[in-house]
Structure 1
């Protein structure tokens, strides 16, 4: 199954609302002075870009993503004159060496076919002593909304196990991230956990985004016939830890990494 990343509205309801919270903690953690030139590689809907603009006060910000649909969504949402969004490949960035003071990537590296190539590009376009940083969801353990989903899906359908991001993406843990940054020649590499609450109003608020077709889990739901989809929905309804008011309080952990060229 291939990943589908095209509709910004569907992605935003599924993951964007939580990624914005992680982005805020990530930008604060970087503590980059104002007036710097930023690149958001794999900018998606612009969640990280919007946070950089609001909190880091860059002199300019460029966002790049391979999806024309997501780039169009970011352009429509963010009209700040300091920004530019364009389509491009993280493994072949269309910029000269040393172009940016800060190169960041949010929730992207797991989906890049050759992460080491992307890291070489991130490092190449960073200035000397420039910051190169990223964060990825802890799919293996810390992204509870997806952990519950895949545990239920594989209980009903063992053939779904290879689709689980926790199994598929080796970069979702601290040591592989540290090795990736060190392997790119970056100095003073640090990896840190960022955890945010993900509270759903009720079960429908949890389940509805899985029907949008964006990302691996919704793609899997979309592939199911109606009876199997209903069985998965009902198992999740039974398993999720609902409060007396019907709300579901989970957490989401991401691993953030930074280093300097």
Structure 2
């Protein structure tokens, strides 16, 4: 792989953090789709009595999605980018939400441990050097029977989705990222990382290989059909 490497992704988000919400706000359905994935976790009782992990919370948009479906839950939101986390913590949150600055691989060192009643990982697994190790860690952090929801891009299983993704990247995402931040390297990496990531069927198989049960996936409505997916699974 050339250009930005996965090891440097958290720090690279620092540069674009201030512009991140404006950039994704120009993407129709971005926040709605996060809420759809959070809803697909099937969390009970408005989250009352639950402890949830938002893994890779960024500027807090995924945290807000979790909060919308589980307003009574305790949420621990973690991100490896100090800049993104600064944007998140500048927003208004209830006392039940706690933010932690840590790479997701270093949760234990950051004092974040289980058990959790659900884990939400949006746009995270694709960016990790060792996704299998992280999925195994998530499984150990979950209570038996608790859900994992992975919200991410996956286009390999659809030729149409691949064409649309590349077209949107080269004509919209990469130019807009360069305009907002002065540096397009993160957005070129985004395009490339999605192209190299598992197809939906392969990622479902990856979840099963790493010990999860009840594995399923569903895509999003609109132009991101077969581009953005929710992968759901349960800790046995």
Measured after TM superposition, the shift of residue 181 of structure 1 is 1.0
Normalized per residue, the structure richer in strand is 1
Q: Could you list the runs of 4 or more consecutive aligned residues of structure 1 that deviate by over 4 angstroms after TM superposition? A: 143-146, 149-153
- Size of the aligned set, in residue pairs, is 201
Counterpart among 127, 132, 137 of residue 111 in structure 1? 127
Q: Which residue of structure 1 aligns with residue 231 of structure 2?
A: 257
What does residue range 111-150 of structure 1 map to in structure 2 within 5 Å? 111-139=127-155, 142=161, 146-150=165-169
Counterpart among 2, 5, 21 of residue 13 in structure 2? 5
Q: Which residue of structure 2 aligns with residue 195 of structure 1?
A: 221
What does residue range 27-42 of structure 1 map to in structure 2 within 5 Å? 27-33=38-44, 34-35=47-48, 36-42=50-56
Larger radius of gyration: 1
3-state SS in 2 of match to 1:91: helix
Measured after TM superposition, the shift of residue 176 of structure 1 is 2.2
- Structure 1: gaps of 5 or more residues: 154-159, 198-249
Whole-Å separation in 2 of the counterparts to 1:143 and 1:130 = 32
Q: Which residue of structure 2 aligns with residue 15 of structure 1?
A: 24
Q: Can you list the C-alpha shifts for 1:87-137, whole angstroms capped at 9, x where unaligned? A: 112223225664210011011111111111111121111111111111112
In angstroms, what is the RMSD of aligned CA positions? 2.8
Q: Can you list the C-alpha shifts for 1:62-100, whole angstroms capped at 9, x where unaligned? A: 111110111111111142111011111222322566421
Whole-Å separation in 2 of the counterparts to 1:16 and 1:124 = 34
Give the TM-score of the pair, scaled to structure 1.
0.68
Instruction: Answer yes or no: is 1:86 the counterpart of 2:100.
Output: yes
Q: Can you list the C-alpha shifts for 1:143-173, whole angstroms capped at 9, x where unaligned? A: 88752145669xxxxxx9x9542664323x2
Measured after TM superposition, the shift of residue 252 of structure 1 is 8.0
3-state SS in 1 of match to 2:58: coil
Whole-Å separation in 2 of the counterparts to 1:16 and 1:90 = 25
Q: Which residue of structure 1 aligns with residue 91 of structure 2?
A: 77
